[in-house]
Amino acid sequence: MDFFFKPRGIALIGATANPRKGGHAILKNLLKGFPGGIYPVNPRYNEILGVQCLPSVASVPDPVDMAIVFIPAAQVPETIEDCAKRGIKGIIIESGGFAETGPEGKALQARIDAIRVRHGLRIWGPNCMGLVDAKNKFVFSFASPTIWDEGLLPGDVSLIVQSGMLAGGFLTDTMTHGTMGVSKVCSIGNKSDVGECDLLEVLLNDPETKAVGLYLESIPDGQRFFRLCRAGEKPVVLLKGGVSPQGAQAAMSHTASMAGDGRVVRGAMAQAGVVQARDFKQMMDLCRALSMAPSLPQGATGRTAILTYSGGAGIMTSDFLSLFGLSVAELSPETRQILGTVYPDWMPVNNPVDLWPAVEKNGAEKAYQTALSAVMADPGVDAVIMHIYAGGFALITENAKLAQTAREAGKPLLVWLLGGRDAARAMHLELQDLGIPVFRELYRTTECLSAVFRWHRSRNERGGETEAPSSLPAPAREALAGREGVLDEHDSKGFLAAVGIPVIEEYVAAGPEEAVAFAGRVGYPVVVKGLLPGEVHKTERGLVRLHLATPEAVNDAVLAVREVVGPEGRVLVQRQAKGAIELICGFFRDPQFGPAVMLGLGGVFAEALEDSAFAVAPLDRTEALALIGRLRGWKILNGLRGAPPLDREALADILVALSRAGAAFDGLSEVDINPLVVENGKPVAVDATVILKDAGK
Amino acid sequence: MDFFFKPRGIALIGATANPRKGGHAILKNLLKGFPGGIYPVNPRYNEILGVQCLPSVASVPDPVDMAIVFIPAAQVPETIEDCAKRGIKGIIIESGGFAETGPEGKALQARIDAIRVRHGLRIWGPNCMGLVDAKNKFVFSFASPTIWDEGLLPGDVSLIVQSGMLAGGFLTDTMTHGTMGVSKVCSIGNKSDVGECDLLEVLLNDPETKAVGLYLESIPDGQRFFRLCRAGEKPVVLLKGGVSPQGAQAAMSHTASMAGDGRVVRGAMAQAGVVQARDFKQMMDLCRALSMAPSLPQGATGRTAILTYSGGAGIMTSDFLSLFGLSVAELSPETRQILGTVYPDWMPVNNPVDLWPAVEKNGAEKAYQTALSAVMADPGVDAVIMHIYAGGFALITENAKLAQTAREAGKPLLVWLLGGRDAARAMHLELQDLGIPVFRELYRTTECLSAVFRWHRSRNERGGETEAPSSLPAPAREALAGREGVLDEHDSKGFLAAVGIPVIEEYVAAGPEEAVAFAGRVGYPVVVKGLLPGEVHKTERGLVRLHLATPEAVNDAVLAVREVVGPEGRVLVQRQAKGAIELICGFFRDPQFGPAVMLGLGGVFAEALEDSAFAVAPLDRTEALALIGRLRGWKILNGLRGAPPLDREALADILVALSRAGAAFDGLSEVDINPLVVENGKPVAVDATVILKDAGK
């Protein structure tokens, strides 16, 4: 991909002297910053903007690695052929008129793609705004050249943006406000060839990029995307468009039907340590905070000191810390004593550290510097949020010294800034140059700090490079031997037991006597079920008899159930599990992310709370525990009304086993354990359905 | 309060020639905009800034209604006395050094208050930034006079801000960014006399104010605040500092213990139609949107058309509409047909209306105007969110025409704006002058639109002016006759039944025979309980025997329970309620808001969901139904797993009856109905505790 990011020479096909056209803007942008060869191609001109214009791609001199194409869609295929003949390997097509415009455009795009494959080219676009590299001053884009005047601020955040118009508009907005620097901004448009994964791979290895933000409407290769993010050492922030609850498809198993609504994406991203954003600017703010944060020590949990000039804003910050799962740091006696030296006598020292009285007594410089040094040195403080006012209030601080204090402590320092329009902007830029991220809303400030700690934690929760096992263990293979389609409950649990998942004691009874004998062994009450091949709605068909407390009841139930299932079916008797907590746990194949597991609250809570979490298979223990931790209903898992809490390790074992089995064996289509009842803390599979791929398919 | 808002003459005590002091800034601010008499008082000067300076308050000429005081705290009491002698009735004390600084300052503030009461003065402050009235150009504040240069933009939003520093900083930030106009900004500081209620009352009646925003850390007179907001016809937005979950106090009843954590404030504010804000700027954005929204027709529910130049931003907007409980409008065939006239042929017409292809075909002016006219005329559209880009992209629109179209339709039009720093600001101001609120974040745009519809709905859900009944009905008075303290379960339910609340069939049994006879009449299973005076933990003491299915079981239970309660207690037998849904419902007296009711999910869901809602008593039916609607667990109430849904009207009756009884009778301290079981949709009180005020207190 180097020909896109470090070309030696660029052919610009569609260059024009008309200043209202994109082909003109691209040339202007190239001339302003690109030091290599710039070769406008257009047979109608001899020169444009003082640069010699060439009649054809064939006449472009060496070296040339890359072409930017901005001509009517219909002429693009021929041009691509010309580029290939000239030996150009990388092509950015910025023209629109392709797949986004309906069937004809789709066909045109397919033609381009065929040419690409034939010649071994890489094509970026079409229908995109190309690349802006603010550090190297490369603007390979028809973005308005006014961005050069308004501020092409270099920074450490790189972006990948799917929507064309948005990339342009959003980028210009961001850059001309001059408060957010960027490194490489990639507008990927229709993604006919070069997609988010290709670019993400480049950016994760790019020394000029410290964090990557993505706006995507689709992630066609979810598995590659997941692997890249999980393996990468840089923060990745994703804004995913199109998450409204419309995508849930009908599906046979409960597991798959719970997978709609963006929940699999959310689960996979959480597992890979990707921070999910909500909105465009918020994504930029998250990227900014993450790119500027120091690496945190292992034990840092988010205990935060608040330095403020306003008691009210201090209170609000405490509220937000609590909301975002961070905490107001308990200051040490040493810290309190140092703060006491700048406070007036009447003022008690607390966190939030309200500095206004200290500012009145000692001036802002001394008050802020003393306070920041003290809290940064406090071992009970993991991070600091500082409130600053620009332009007035005698709140003048020596920012370079404050920044140095933070840098030396190696702890995040985030600033919430108020102030006059111009004064605040100047202060914002100054602080940012010093490595301190600045925010204009207090909620956002705290939200971004929490993202720093969440990302840090996600690195610790990240699994090892979990390889899918190459095949199922022998007992599991045996359990599946000769079976196909939907397995009945007993066979399904036979498979689960074979991969090491605890299942309820049960027995296929030939008749009432065997069932009663079994009940005598495991103890009453028991459950009697009628099993039919392919039947997944036993309860609805009256095939489940619960709470059987006497031999007579068992006898009657067996006879009744056998009547329904007939000679095709069989009768199962099992110990009735006792447990207040019911879970649902499953395996399935997600169209985007491949093998995946689901964990959810079951029973009456399933409907009321809709609490479920997803992860990509296979999982290791760390990831399984993190998955459990992502359920919102932790109060239920920790034991309601004095019930024993869930044994999380035991549940993690089940999730690991299920995920490894599914990843190992392609023939496994879906597994649904519902319910997985927690008995005295230990989860046990009480009902289950295993679905194998149809032999015929 | 007119002397504060429309003074004829102002004495400025503490005026100084030193330009670094607040007393100088106040004078400068007065001179820039206040047309009445300005009388600096300071014996050390003959003139300041060309104005004659007077040696004492006594020498201030007529007319003078108001004094602004900015002198060291210790000298303030004497000065107040002087003002009173001079006949000045309104005093704004901006100096600090009072209650906010500890015991000495508290004493000083108490002295001032005593003087105030003695002379019948009104005092605003101390420790505040006074008043800024941007429409009348009154700046009665030591805010830096640079705000005059940076933009004192008049608008329709008035503010009441408790925190002094914040009021100043925040206001300057808001005003100098020049994108949010204000009417009256009141910084109330220590609230020794004039508080949020006094000012809110003024602002709700102020023709120059269309919406009021408040930042408050405390609401000492919650009842007055509630009444003002509920009765007012203007949107009120509240940002309440200090909501972290620390305030929950230990309390005897479940109801009261659920009341901590800001939930009563939230309930009371929802009931009064107050929009609660999260952060400072978000509060301003909410105020802005609410002050600019047209009044909506009765049936408007939030069906929104999205006009955008970016498919991606359209998708995001749909996501946000769904998140905030609004919906993507279904466009009528007529609207689609009109949109088709500006679309290229290949482009299907949908909502979100992606206008970029139409802009390319017809230019922005025609595309936007045609689209806006069409969707505004569509009876299925309640509001429009429009995306605009300022400065480039050929996205030039004639905004005055767009604004006129929206105004004529009487539907809210909110704009999400991207663009270069200066171009976007100019566009922002232009649109705002045209009555269109503009936002820079898409999430915020949708959030503010949802606030407009929420506020509209809250007006419809608002109860009539519910007067508390003057006394309990006769049967209820009889039920309480001679009782005091904690009533036992049977007496408690006697009271409930007397105010019209359905209670479970029950009977105080003299012995096992009576209990068995009762069980025979109501049907098995039944419950036997032992009642002891003052005992509220029956279950823990083994005094509740459930699921008694046979006469023998009833007999045994009565004997066992009687053994425990002895001759002091009594034995209750009741029908066992059958219902999947358990609620908790209560009455209590909130220290801030007075008589209040609580409704929450009970049983196993109480702990897991912590779902409860509060309202101020008395309630009418509309308010009671709205209270039920505020529970998050509506899925449970609508009937889980095929259970019949809750009869909301029946529950509303109970809430109304309970709230009216509590409001009517001061002696009623707490009522706890737990559980209120929903049997076949009908709620019935199964256990209850009524607590009367101690006779001695």
Q: Are residues B608 and A607, on separate chains, in Cβ contact within 8 Å?
A: no
Out of A217, A245, A580, name the one closest to residue B322 (CB).
Answer: A245
- The stretch B550-559 carries a mean pLDDT of 95
Q: What is the mean pLDDT of chain A?
A: 89
- Please report the pLDDT score of residue A461 as a whole number: 79
Q: φ and ψ at B266, to 5 degrees?
A: -60, -45
- Please report the pLDDT score of residue A616 as a whole number: 93
Q: How many CB atoms lie within 10 A of CB B15?
A: 27
Q: Are residues B441 and A280, on separate chains, in Cβ contact within 8 Å?
A: yes
Q: Is A119 exposed, middle or buried (0-12, 13-18, 19+ CB in 10 A)?
A: middle
Q: How confident is the model at residue B243 (pLDDT cuts 50, 70, 90)?
A: low
A224 — contact with chain B (CB < 8 Å)?
Answer: no
CB distance B164 to B192 below 8 Å: no
The 3-class SS string of A129-166 reads CEEEECCCCEEECCCCCCHHHHCCCECCEEEEECCHHH
Share of chain B above pLDDT 90, in %: 67
- Please report the pLDDT score of residue B695 as a whole number: 43
**Both structure tokens of A80:** 């691509």
Q: Which chain A residues contact residue B188 at CB under 8 A?
A: none
Out of B101, B105, B442, name the one closest to residue A279 (CB).
Answer: B442
Q: Would the pLDDT of A244 be above 60?
A: no
- Please report the pLDDT score of residue B248 as a whole number: 31
DSSP state of A54: B
Q: Would the pLDDT of A246 be above 50?
A: no
CB distance B94 to B142 below 8 Å: yes
Out of A282, A421, A640, name the one closest to residue B443 (CB).
Answer: A282
Q: Which helix (H) or strand (E) holds B600?
A: strand B594-601
Share of chain A above pLDDT 90, in %: 67
Q: How many CB pairs under 8 A join A and B?
A: 195
- Domain A2-242: give its CATH code: 3.40.50.720
A40 — contact with chain B (CB < 8 Å)?
Answer: no
Q: How close A161 comes to chain B (CA, Å)?
A: 10
Q: Which chain A residues contact residue B608 at CB under 8 A?
A: 605, 609, 633, 635-636, 640
Q: Are residues B316 and A241, on separate chains, in Cβ contact within 8 Å?
A: yes
- Please report the pLDDT score of residue B649 as a whole number: 96
Closest CA to B303 of B335, B282, B333, B326: B326
| Pairing relationship of beta strands B526-531 and B570-575 according to DSSP bridges | antiparallel
Q: Matching CATH topology for A297-461 and A505-575?
A: no
Out of A104, A173, A319, name the one closest to residue B244 (CB).
Answer: A319
Q: Which chain B residues contact residue A177 at CB under 8 A?
A: 421
Instruction: List, for residues A447-464, the tens digit of each pLDDT value.
Output: 999 999 999 998 887 777
- The stretch B379-408 carries a mean pLDDT of 87
- Please report the pLDDT score of residue B610 as a whole number: 77
pTM, rounded to two decimals = 0.90
Q: Are residues B441 and A347, on separate chains, in Cβ contact within 8 Å?
A: no
A45 — contact with chain B (CB < 8 Å)?
Answer: no
B43 — contact with chain A (CB < 8 Å)?
Answer: no
The CA-atom distances, in angstroms, between B107 and each of A345, B14, B128, B246 are 17, 22, 18, 29
Instruction: List, for residues A534-558, the tens digit of each pLDDT value.
Output: 877 888 888 999 989 999 999 999 9
Q: Which chain A residues contact residue B344 at CB under 8 A?
A: 101
Q: Would the pLDDT of A247 be above 50?
A: no
Amino acid at A76: V
B68 — contact with chain A (CB < 8 Å)?
Answer: no
Q: Which chain A residues contact residue B164 at CB under 8 A?
A: 310
**Both structure tokens of A367:** 């008050």
CB distance A312 to B168 below 8 Å: no
Q: pLDDT higher for B211 or B346?
A: B211
Tokens 């898409």, located at residue: B442
Domain limits of chain A? 2-242, 297-461, 505-575, 581-692
- Domain A581-692: give its CATH code: 3.30.470.20
Q: φ and ψ at A294, to 5 degrees?
A: -70, 165
Instruction: List, for residues A85-94, the tens digit of each pLDDT value.
Output: 999 999 999 9
Query: Which of A148-152, A174-178, B482-486, B631-635 has maximum average pLDDT?
Result: B482-486
The CA-atom distances, in angstroms, between B337 and each of B331, B353, B359, B379, B380 are 10, 13, 17, 15, 15
Out of B169, B281, B444, name the one closest to residue A389 (CB).
Answer: B169
B45 — contact with chain A (CB < 8 Å)?
Answer: no
Q: How close B442 comes to chain A (CA, Å)?
A: 7
- Please report the pLDDT score of residue B52 as a whole number: 95
- The stretch A331-339 carries a mean pLDDT of 97
- Please report the pLDDT score of residue A83 as a whole number: 97
Q: How confident is the model at residue B18 (pLDDT cuts 50, 70, 90)?
A: very high
Q: Which residue of B has its CA nearest to A145?
A: B392
Q: φ and ψ at A312, to 5 degrees?
A: -60, -45
Q: Would the pLDDT of A84 be above 90?
A: yes
What is the complex's ipTM, to 2 decimals?
0.87
The length of chain A, given as a count of residues: 697
Amino acid at B131: L
A 132-151 residues with CB < 8 A to B: 144, 146, 150
Q: pLDDT higher for A357 or A254?
A: A357
CATH label, A297-461, candidates 1.10.600.10, 3.40.50.261, 3.40.50.360, 3.40.50.620: 3.40.50.261
Q: pLDDT higher for A165 or B212?
A: B212
A443 — contact with chain B (CB < 8 Å)?
Answer: yes
Q: Would the pLDDT of B332 be above 90?
A: yes
Q: Which residue of B has its CA nearest to A388?
A: B169
Q: How many CB atoms lie within 10 A of CB B462?
A: 17
Closest CA to A649 of A684, A624, A618, A631: A624
State whether residue B263 is helix, strand or coil: helix
- Please report the pLDDT score of residue B257 as a whole number: 45
B 341-380 residues with CB < 8 A to A: 344, 346-347, 356-357
Q: How confident is the model at residue A151 (pLDDT cuts 50, 70, 90)?
A: low
Q: Which residue of B has its CA nearest to A279?
A: B443
Beta strands in A26-119 (DSSP E): 37-41, 47-48, 51-52, 66-69, 90-93
CB distance B605 to A608 below 8 Å: yes
Output the DSSP codes for A377-440. Answer: H-TT--EEEEEEEESSTT----HHHHHHHHHHHT--EEEEEEE-HHHHHHHHHHHHHTT--EES
For an interface test with B, give the residue of A128, A162, A165, A417 to mutate (most B CBs within 10 A). Answer: A165
B107 — contact with chain A (CB < 8 Å)?
Answer: no
Least confident of A200-204, A209-213, B175-179: B175-179
- Please report the pLDDT score of residue A106 as a whole number: 93
Rounded Cα distance, A308 and B241, in Å: 15
| Pairing relationship of beta strands A353-354 and A383-390 according to DSSP bridges | unpaired
Report the CATH architecture of A505-575: 2-Layer Sandwich (3.30)
Helix runs in B66-183, H state only = 76-86, 103-119, 147-150, 164-176
Q: How confident is the model at residue B465 (pLDDT cuts 50, 70, 90)?
A: low
Q: Are residues B420 and A605, on separate chains, in Cβ contact within 8 Å?
A: no
State whether residue B214 is helix, strand or coil: strand
CB distance B269 to B630 below 8 Å: no
Q: Which chain A residues contact residue B609 at CB under 8 A?
A: 608-609
Q: Which chain A residues contact residue B178 at CB under 8 A?
A: 421
Maximum CA extent, chain A? 101
Beta strands in A261-362 (DSSP E): 275-276, 303-308, 327-328, 353-354
Tokens 């973005």, located at residue: A143
Q: φ and ψ at B57, to 5 degrees?
A: -65, -35
The CA-atom distances, in angstroms, between B395 and each of A139, B358, B400 are 22, 11, 15
- The stretch A367-378 carries a mean pLDDT of 96
- CA A124 from centre of chain: 24
Q: Would the pLDDT of B103 be above 60?
A: yes
- Please report the pLDDT score of residue B550 as a whole number: 93
- CA B193 from centre of chain: 23
Out of B101, B166, B311, name the one closest to residue A163 (CB).
Answer: B311
- The stretch B185-192 carries a mean pLDDT of 90
Least confident of A417-431, A603-617, B347-361, B362-376: A603-617
Q: Are residues B309 and A393, on separate chains, in Cβ contact within 8 Å?
A: no
Rounded Cα distance, B576 and B524, in Å: 8
- CA B667 from centre of chain: 28
Q: Which chain B residues contact residue A312 at CB under 8 A?
A: 162-163, 165-166, 215, 217, 241
B104 — contact with chain A (CB < 8 Å)?
Answer: yes
Q: Is A149 exposed, middle or buried (0-12, 13-18, 19+ CB in 10 A)?
A: exposed
- Please report the pLDDT score of residue B150 as a whole number: 67
Instruction: List, for residues B611-652, the tens digit of each pLDDT value.
Output: 889 999 999 999 999 999 999 887 788 877 677 899 999 999
**Both structure tokens of B688:** 């209850």
Q: Would the pLDDT of B245 be above 60?
A: no
State whether residue B513 is helix, strand or coil: helix
Q: φ and ψ at B130, to 5 degrees?
A: 70, -145
Q: Which chain B residues contact residue A352 at CB under 8 A?
A: none
Instruction: List, for residues B29-48, the tens digit of each pLDDT value.
Output: 999 999 999 999 999 999 99
